[in-house]
Amino acid sequence: MSGNINLLSDTLAAAKAEDRAALIAYLPAGFPTVDGGIEAIKAAFDGGADVVEVGLPHSDPVLDGPVIQTADDIALRGGVRIADVMRTVREAHTATGKPVLVMTYWNPIDRYGVERFTAELADAGGAGCILPDLPVQEAALWREHAEKHGLATVFVVAPSSRDARLAEITAAGSGFVYAASLMGVTGTRESVGAQAEDLVTRTRATRSDLPVCVGLGVSDAAQAAEVAAFADGVIVGSAFVKRMLDAPDDTAGVEAVRALAADLAKGVRRGV
């Protein structure tokens, strides 16, 4: 089976055609359990997410704030493996027909084997990978195998990225560009701010036709609407994970994910 980069591109284009931003949810695989994580992803789609990023839990997550670190710890203590991540992608995509990506640091892929990882992700129906710590100049091997299997390669840009670097990243990436709204780790914020809008403007100025999706900090419909006014996609992670961590049981956690997705979906449609 070839990958689903076209499904991802079509989904983002369909949101644009509706004059709105896409809603992209992030949830870690294996949290609270592998089965529970799959149910949470289905609930996010059911609530209104257009795309879901499945996090590959890592023991040294440099970009992730305390909420996602807590979820990753639970998943790792539960024994989550890359095979469970692939199963999560497969079941979530098969059940919904929607685009599912994996977000992972480079080290687990490097250890697993790039060819093996990309082949298995494509076979599972995955749309691609977000690689926050893989430098573009070191990405040739990954990109070769990702392109062979029809997978998107999503790079992360930050407010500190200079214009020449942005151009290099947009030229090398596919699917969309992940714009980190703030310097620092993930987590909900009081404001997602002007830095993010400036970063989106500068990224688009590279003359790339890739959608620019903003993550790090969005936690409610009002913030989603704020970001949706200037971005092609709104990425929400910590807020979903926090709802699950705060829930009294797994069933309530899944329902909390569905409700938040519905609320955020209204936010990205505000003003349409």
From the candidates 53, 72, 91, 232, which is the catalytic residue?
53
Q: Is residue 226 among the annotated active site residues?
A: no
- Give the integer Cα–Cα distance in Å for 137 and 182: 23
Measured between alpha carbons, how far is 60 from 159 in angstroms, rounded to an integer? 23
- For the question of residue 64 being annotated catalytic, the response is yes
Pick the catalytic residue from 64, 84, 91, 197.
Answer: 64
Residues in CB range of 173: below 8 A, 6 or more apart:
136, 152, 153, 154, 155, 210
Known catalytic residues?
A: 53, 64
